[in-house]
Chain A
Amino acid sequence: MSTPTAPRTHEPTAGQTVGPFFAYGTEFEKMNQVAFPHSPGAIVLSGRVLDGSGAPVPDSIVEIWSRDADGEVPRARGSFRRDDHSFTGYGRTFTDDEGHWEFWTRNPGPGDGRAAFFATIVYARGLPDKLHTRIYLPDDEAALAADPLLSSLAEDERATLVATRLPNGYLHHEIRLQGQDETVFLRFAGAAEDDLGE
């Protein structure tokens, strides 16, 4: 893919922390049910958000956005008003006091032949701006080996982006904001942020 060559005309707005009191402003019904629980193909994707001391982060938001199981990019509306059958691809959840978060969703398909992942964003009190990351499915080793991002990483970094498949078919994944096994976070080519300082 190339990036846009047209000149930017507007300076992007800077992000700020979500703060401690986001729950009543950002909660919506069934927000972590990207797929209807226990429907065919539905799995639980769960994990924790941890800080630099390994302590759970109890006041963070995790959002995921992914292709459907057939690889299609969801274009149906309804993530904000769940109809209990459409797959909208998008979900949001808050960590609990143990830093735990979970979604009902589906295994994303590979789409354009690349390794399948959940695009993921984390926000938290004490985190001055959003953090983008990816949660890759662990199953297709050839696709993972060919992935441009994963293949650019050291083995220990790569491990922070690949979920663990549990015996029941569900997925587990820890997000570490800081520390030895710190999750690999992303910034994107084509953003004005990418040009700053040049």
Chain B
Amino acid sequence: MTTHSPAAAPESLLASPDMPTQHQISEEIAEAHRNAADAEARGEHVDRTLRDFAPYRSSVLRHPTKNPKLVDPETIELFSPAYGQRDVAAIESDLTLQHSGEPLGERITVQGRVLDSWGRPVRNQLLEIWQANAAGRYIHQRDQHPAPLDPNFTGAGRIVTDDDGAYKFTTIKPGPYPWKNHINAWRPAHIHFSVFGTGFTQRIITQMYFPSDPLFALDPIYNTIPRQRDRDNLIARYNHDHTVPEFSMGYEWDIVVDGPDATWFEPEEGEH
């Protein structure tokens, strides 16, 4: 049982009003990246992800127009909700075992570590993932893509990181996914990740991609990140040592959360 399921929104909400060509979107992406590089060269602050990014049409009315205020985090923002290994069952990290049969598609493992910017492991924190099936179809009721649902695949998983900040999911490689941002718009194959750090400031929701996807340059969502090195950091690495003979292909991806947490401030806590 769940607490609060949203009703289906009108499908028109998911289509852009102008349906431009891929060529136009690609030109807009290139221009936005040039503008970001120029601003960085001038010494201006450029966000790691651009919220004002018109090639992603749904963002036009949903991005703030003012710069975020730079603040010192307060104590509560330097802590995070507490989790433990018992909060999630071990089977929840294997998305291929949630039904009576085996899901269709390429079985993979995705494993890595959650670290802070100083390389310290983020221990006992929750990771949640969700993804399309091998045919590129989400189980969500708003997904109208006419690809088949897989009765043996839901596409949602959870895990709590261990003492090394490590995680490992077993799943199916998702397919590319068509959407209505522009004509012939396709998302590169991706897995959504929701991650808690050790401070609430470190909270992140992002997407992991697969190596050598031909759709990278075409995708306005991937390209909301203006710097190539930051985009590269969202791509998992294939690791043959993690591939299991005659069973699954191995991918590796580390997540680095941004910002300080309470441990940097502990000596000062007594002053309050």
Neighbour of B142 across the interface among A3, A13, A20, A148, CB < 8 A: A20
Residues of A145-182 at the interface with B, using a CB-CB cut-off of 8 Å, are 148-149, 152-153, 177-179, 182
Instruction: Provide the bound-state CA to CA distance between A52 and B68, in Å.
Output: 16
Q: Is A128 an interface residue (CB 8 A)?
A: yes
In the bound complex, what is the Cα–Cα distance between A93 and B64 (angstroms)?
Answer: 21
- Judge if B259 is at the interface, Cβ distance under 8 Å: yes
Residue pairs across A and B with CB atoms within 8 Å: the count is 309
Which residues of chain A are within 8 angstroms of B225 by Cβ–Cβ distance? Answer: 14, 16
Contact of B128 among A10, A26, A58, A184 (CB under 8 A): A26
In the complex, residue of chain A having the shortest beta-carbon distance to the beta carbon of B267: A2
Give the interface size bracket for A toward B.
Answer: 35 or more
- Residues of B contacting A114 in the complex (Cβ-Cβ under 8 angstroms): 74
Is there an interface contact between B233 and A14, defined as CB atoms closer than 8 Å? yes
Size bin of chain B's contact surface = 35 or more
Contact A25 B129 (CB under 8 A): yes
Chain B 112-127 against A: per-residue CB contact (8 Å), 1 yes, 0 no? 0001111100000010
* Given A25-B156, A27-B2: A10 and B72 interface contact (C-beta under 8 Å): no
Residues of B within 8 A of A121 (CB): 200, 203
How far, in angstroms, from A13 to B209 measured CA to CA in the complex? 13
Name the contact of A187 in the complex, choosing from B1, B69, B80, B222 (C-beta under 8 A).
Answer: B69
**B51, A26: Cβ atoms closer than 8 Å:** no
Assess whether A16 is in contact with B257, with CB atoms less than 8 Å apart: no
The distance in angstroms between the C-alpha atoms of A2 and B233, with both chains bound, is 29
A14 lies within 8 A of B230 (CB) = yes
Which chain A residue lies CB-closest to B264? Answer: A4
Contacts of A93 in B (CB 8 A): 4
Complex CA gap A125/B63 in Å reads 11
> Contacting B59 at CB < 8 Å: which of A65, A75, A111, A127?
A127
| Interchain nearest-CB distance for B135 vs A (Å) | 15
B69 touches A24 (CB 8 A): no
B95 shortest CB reach to chain A, Å: 11
With a cutoff of 8 Å between Cβ atoms, the chain B residues found around residue A196 in the complex are: 40, 45-48
Known interface pairs A16-B49, A53-B61, A177-B62; A32-B70 also in contact (CB < 8 Å)? no
B155–A126 contact, CB under 8 A? no
Q: Which of A24, A28, A128, A183 lies in contact with B139, CB distance below 8 A? A: A24
Residues of B within 8 A of A189 (CB): 70-73
Once A123-B205, A197-B46 are accepted as A-B contacts, the answer to whether A8 and B81 lie under 8 Å apart by CB is no
Stretch at the interface among B6-14, B21-29, B101-109, B242-250: B6-14
Q: Which residues from B are CB-within-8-Å of A132? A: 68, 201
Task: Please tell me if A95 contacts chain B, counting CB pairs below 8 Å.
Answer: yes
Contact A18–B56 (Cβ < 8 Å): no
Cα(A2)–Cα(B50), bound, Å: 28
Chain A: minimal CB distance from B206 (Å): 4
* Residue contacts A-B, CB under 8 angstroms, 21 given: A1-B72, A9-B119, A11-B230, A11-B233, A13-B258, A16-B205, A21-B138, A25-B194, A65-B200, A94-B6, A112-B74, A119-B200, A123-B205, A125-B58, A128-B53, A129-B49, A132-B201, A149-B69, A186-B70, A190-B259, A190-B264
Closest 7 CB pairs of A and B: A25-B130, A126-B58, A12-B258, A90-B81, A191-B259, A21-B140, A112-B272
